[in-house]
Amino acid sequence: MVTNELTTSRATPLQAARARGRVRGRLILLGPAFVAAVAYVDPGNFATNSAAGARYGYLLVWVVVVANLMAMLVQTLTAKLGLATGRSLPELCRERLPRPVNRVMWVQAELVAMATDLAEVIGGAVALYLLFGIPLLPGGIIIGTAAFAVLALRSRGYRAFEVVIAVLLGVIVLAFAANLLASGSDPGSAMAGMVPRLQGTDSVLLAAGILGATVMPHVIYVHSALTRDRIPAADDTERRILFRGQRTDVLLALSAAGAVNLAMLLIAAASFRGGGPGGADSLEGVHAGLGQTIGTAAAFGFAVALLVSGLASTSVGTYAGEVIMQGFLRRRVPLLLRRLVTLLPALAVLAIGLDPTRALVLSQVILSFGIPFALIPVVAFTRRRDLMGNLVNHPLTTAAASLVAVLVVALNAFLLWQVVAG
């Protein structure tokens, strides 16, 4: 029975939320990680995971799994940062870092936002072509402008935006679950793919692309803003309650995203390994190959998931661009102008006729180089008790996050060396 005290103005926002009932009180704590998770299944993942499965079979399964575990750790720290400090990561960088460093951080974050939009808009445009025969350039414009409709939901409060994004994520999960069941993937070979190994420069390039497509720099920035803007905590006890909710949020959302990423690779490995029909060197090839090996329903499901992914992830990406600009520079840019700046590179790629799938894979490699710029400040800030209070990292957490940062930097350095030496 809810007491009158909780329904009065003396109740804190968290108490008011929990007074809605046991189930609704818990559900209200979920949401930000589902917005973040959409970015982890954007069209760049479709390209890199499908290419990895087609070229190397189950070899890079371990990369997908490790990248997803890393993503869970990173997003947990990011959510905790916004919750504990009441600021987004870009805001903290502006306040705590020297001005020249802050400007460098802003420039690279803007480049990351452009690379993100490149993948999302191109992927959505390809989906429109596969489903309706719409040429790529008009399709890119449609996807780019459609993001405004989804973003408009934020004017009705954070919950409407979160629910719609979560529903879109659910569509993607269902589509790939159905295709995976129909693909005849080999569980034994998938388990063997958990042994870490690589085969040459191209496999390293794909591994870096998978990492860039899974641990997304722009969503590291935006997740801290999402938790900052939600339910304010009245004291340390409420912060701990909210953080437990955020950990559950991350676990559920990133598990769903990780399952989709793994399904992408397993489906490609089962359907295209050894040069199967249609090939997987392009999204169009994956679509055609699925139609031949599994059936037209699988090809349709792939295209629908790709379209939903492009629409949802470009909406999140546009919001991330707003967080980046406002946080690093303390300036607001009109949404239309903000959208045009990040949209133009993607439209240019479509207009001059570059291979969209190759552009998608390369965009993910660019994203992987942006991860340390977002991850290192997160680790540095969350280990500081003066910022985090009772949510400060345990030393083991800081050690694990530092190891993730070192691994990312090492992988990128090795990739660069391999390309130059080759």
- Confirm if 36 and 222 have CB atoms less than 8 A apart: yes
pLDDT of residue 24 exceeding 80, the answer is no
Instruction: Tell me: pLDDT of 154 over 60.
Output: yes
pLDDT value of residue 8:
45
Assess whether pLDDT exceeds 50 at residue 36: yes
pLDDT of 15 over the 90 cut: no
Q: What percent of the chain has pLDDT over 90?
A: 41
Confidence of residue 4 (pLDDT cuts 50, 70, 90): very low
pLDDT on residue 421: 66
pLDDT at 369: 78
pLDDT of residue 328: 92
Taking all residues of the chain, what is their mean pLDDT, rounded to a whole number?
A: 85
Percent of the chain exceeding pLDDT 70 equals 90
Looking up tokens 């169009």, which residue turns up?
284
Provide mean pLDDT across the span 301-307.
95
pLDDT band at 370 (very low <50, low <70, confident <90, very high): confident
Residues 83-137: tens digit of each pLDDT: 999 999 999 999 999 999 999 999 998 888 888 888 888 889 999 999 999 999 9
- Arithmetic mean of pLDDT, 25-32: 80
Q: What pTM does this model have? A: 0.88
Residue 274 has pLDDT above 70, yes or no: no
Question: In whole angstroms, what separates CA 256 from the centre of its chain?
Answer: 12
Q: Which of 237, 231, 302 is nearest to 272 (CA)?
A: 302
Q: What is the pLDDT of residue 331?
A: 80
The predicted structure's pLDDT at residue 3: 47
d(CA 116, CA 314) in angstroms, rounded, equals 8
Closest by Cα among 155, 136, 166 to 27? 166
Residue 5, pLDDT score: 43
pLDDT for 21 equals 63
* Whether the predicted pLDDT of 412 surpasses 90: no
Under 8 Å between Cβ of 44 and 213: yes
Taking alpha carbons only, the member of 304, 35, 321, 16 closest to residue 176 is 304
Could you give the C-alpha distances from 288 to 194, 356, 359, in angstroms and in order? 29, 16, 20
Q: Which domains does the chain have, with CATH numbers?
A: 24-421 (1.20.1740.10)
409 against 82, higher pLDDT: 82
Mean pLDDT calculated for residue range 297-302: 94
